Structure 1
């Protein structure tokens, strides 16, 4: 199996504090057991002042030590979120993060053994950006699987190093059995960027694996996780705020639209937001082969009017492995004249963007000239989208890998 395995630093006794401590020789007695830390994924937090963390290790307890300076070293204990091959999965939350700071962190057994240090940065609390990735679907790209996803992620953070977080639209892996998914999840989590850029994942049908895909809930520590939408433990709907914008992720493997609507309404009622963004896997206004599927038709006819009624600004989808940008939509109705690069939505008008494959593992052809399509593209090249957010504008620029060609760009702006 392929793991992103981090070497453990063994610290016995207290000779210093925090991440500056170097590995020390064992001071008598038996040396501590080796600690194998695998598949660390930094997750988005409930707000910009927190981060979540998930990892697996061969220890009975798990802790995170994190600091922005030698004077501010903190340790938080993780909780056990499952088990794989006899090793538990740990989830932890890092809170009260300062703006515009670099944090170093490491995970360990809360006693003597710690991983190598990793790091992330926080932003200044103003305008921000994130990177959007359509279905990586590691395992659908031949033998050996995985390099396409790693290449795209490296390209994205290399081209946009100051992005605040990553957001995926589902189907991180291809296999539809839990056992078959394990090596694919290990390859998905292999890129080192996933320890430095927080990830906000969306569950897809392959991740859910006909009710057997427990690893999504083990490998990702999600903020404000709900049992609404849950089809496997840990894969329900969740939400987070970031610098005034509100993000809500739905598991549309659960087709209980009334339940999703109640979750959205309750979340919206609990917080004011400059922009509201919803992500779910099945794109109702896509351009590929799934637009006529029964579940997609049902979501188009029943969920999209709810999204308009609730005043959602932007919806991000995957599933179709082709790129599509809708006109502004009011429920299922096209708003005429809204296919251009700069749009000013009115109440009830929502923009839908369906991301193409981010890894190149699988592409689907376009399925026709659907009336909701402002832009549709299948060029057989992986892509991702850089999303820039301020109080007045929300701009999406989709970039082809590896040449950096801009595929499409659109900006939403507030009415004056």
Structure 2
């Protein structure tokens, strides 16, 4: 039984010479110099998105174009290495776009690469990125960006999307500036606000623009992001068309996709689509993933609905059903940490087992809004399973450092970087 406790090719090629790279400044990582340089391009649906691959040596890519013919292609190379070509799959969509998905393999740690992708038959300008350590690693966790939710308070959908996209860029920028060795981002769901409806042209158009806003930050050209399916995403095919998730499953499936997992170093990440309330499907998915990855020391589950949160969703029917059935499965499979969204209020539980405080239990963390696009009012009475809560209307982000012997968690406000909770250390 685990003993766990909480202690509060060749010379780049002609194309590199001809095309400028994204600017690189601090420690080989690209950063806009300041927020004023952030350019909003809501009409560009072709921006590529990186996602963690099946393991740390792999990387998934996804992008839109309008060419249904030929192959989806990525070329990738080291500065003085040979160019490697990877082909993937095209999926022709009903709105005239084509979703391209490619997986790159055999990456090395702490190595600088360049990649280019075929966009409507033309190779894009090369982008530079650097892999991080394949042993000890860090990742950033952000709660609901919900791009477009600010539109209700603005003059138009466009104004709201631009505001939220700007703030989405800001939180990524802040997390990378203060933690330049981040391997990837994890997003707690509700990436966008509007559900695409088959026969509603206006909603479909707005949903596309919201995804353009989510994908607009240049950081997403070189930092992978692992997204969770939220309640605003569950019925939207844009989710599975824009993101190339690894090890996808039909278990836990809605229109946006099902459960999926990946490994990184000594850690298994399990992403559950908790919009699907079939607990037996999630149980089967978790057990299958565990059987294939018995050597993983740490297990982190990520899903949208915060079953032990501190906000207004606490008594929702779906949340209560998940809270009644899901923890037993997580505990039986020795999950160490759970990351959620949904309530737009940060909270952290005591270690919980059998719905009670237990030093050998699971810590549940709910992320607040990472963009400030939407906040809920807090509930007056804090639940007895919550150890820490922050309900101010200020965007936050969480940095999680994983090593052989511990997981260290810190959560800060975006605007001034001040901590909102004690440093949390999970040891095993």
- Residue 192 of structure 2 is matched in structure 1 by 173
Kindly report the root-mean-square deviation, in angstroms, between the aligned alpha carbons of the 2 structures: 1.9
Query: By how many angstroms is 1:123 displaced?
Result: 1.8
For 1:128, the equivalent position in structure 2 comes to 137
Which runs of 5 or more structure 1 residues have no equivalent in the other structure?
1-15, 24-35, 336-344
SS in 1 for 2:307: coil
Gaps of 5+ in 2: 1-11, 20-43, 198-203
Structure 1 stretches of 4+ moved >4 Å:
16-19
Determine if contact 1:384/1:399 at 8 Å carries over to the other structure: yes
**1:7-43 C-alpha deviation (Å, 9 max, x unpaired):** xxxxxxxxx95753637xxxxxxxxxxxx87121011
Counterpart contact for 1:37–1:115, Cα < 8 Å:
no
Distance 1:38 1:307, change over 3 A: same
Aligned to 1:384: 397
Which residue number in structure 2 is paired with residue 331 of structure 1? 354
Change (3 A) 1:53 1:139: same
Q: What is the TM-score when the length of structure 2 is the normalising length?
A: 0.83
1:217-236 equivalences in 2 (<5 Å): 217-232=240-255, 235-236=257-258
Partner of 1:32: none
Partner of 2:415: 402
Is contact 1:393–1:411 with CA below 8 Å preserved after alignment? no
Moved more, 178-187 or 398-407: 178-187
Contact 2:132 2:182 in 1 (8 A): no
| Cα distance in 1 between the residues matched to 2:175 and 2:424 | 20
- Which runs of structure 2 are paired with 1:114-263 in the superposition (5 Å)? 114-142=123-151, 143=154, 144=159, 145=161, 146=164, 147-178=166-197, 179=204, 180-208=206-234, 211=235, 213-232=236-255, 235-263=257-285
CA distance in 2, matches of 1:127, 1:317: 23
**Residues in 2 aligned to 1:81 and 1:227: alpha-carbon distance in whole angstroms:** 18
2:383 aligned residue (370, 394, 416): 370
Q: Residue in 2 aligned with 1:339? A: none
Say if 1:306 and 1:333 are closer, same or farther in 2 by CA, change over 3 A. Answer: same
User: What does the per-residue CA deviation read over 1:128-151, in whole Å, with 9 as the maximum and x for residues that have no partner?
Assistant: 000000000010113412222122
Q: Does 2:66 align with 1:58? A: yes
State how 1:269-348 maps to structure 2 within 5 Å: 269-271=291-293, 272-335=295-358, 345-346=359-360
Are 1:44 and 2:52 an aligned pair? yes
SS in 1 for 2:182: coil
Q: Deviations over 1:362-413 (max 9, x none)?
A: 1112222111110111111000000001011101100101100011134333
Alpha-carbon spacing, 1:154–1:400, altered in 2? closer, same or farther (3 Å): same
- The answer on 1:69 being equivalent to 2:91 is no
Deviation at 1:242, TM superposition (A): 0.4
Count of equivalent residues: 373
Task: Summarize the Cα distance change of 1:151–1:414 in structure 2 as closer, same or farther, 3 Å threshold.
Answer: closer
1:357 is matched with which residue?
369
The answer to which structure, 1 or 2, has the higher relative contact order (CA under 8 A, 6+ apart) is: 2
Change (3 A) 1:215 1:37: closer
* Distance across 2 between alignment mates of 1:307 and 1:153: 29
Contact 1:229–1:252, Cα closer than 8 Å, also in 2? yes
Whichever structure has more helix as a proportion of its residues is 2
Tell me the CA shift for residue 154 of structure 1. 1.6
The answer (yes or no) to whether the contact 2:259–2:272 under 8 Å persists in 1 is yes
Q: Alpha-carbon deviation of 1:71?
A: 2.3
Residue 110 of structure 1, CA deviation: 9.1
SS at match of 1:282: coil
2:140 & 2:225 partners in 1: Cα distance?
A: 10
Most deviating of 317-326 and 67-76: 67-76
The CA distance in 2 between the partners of 1:412 and 1:132, in whole Å, is 16
Deviations 1:103-126 (A, max 9, x none): 110111596x21111122112322
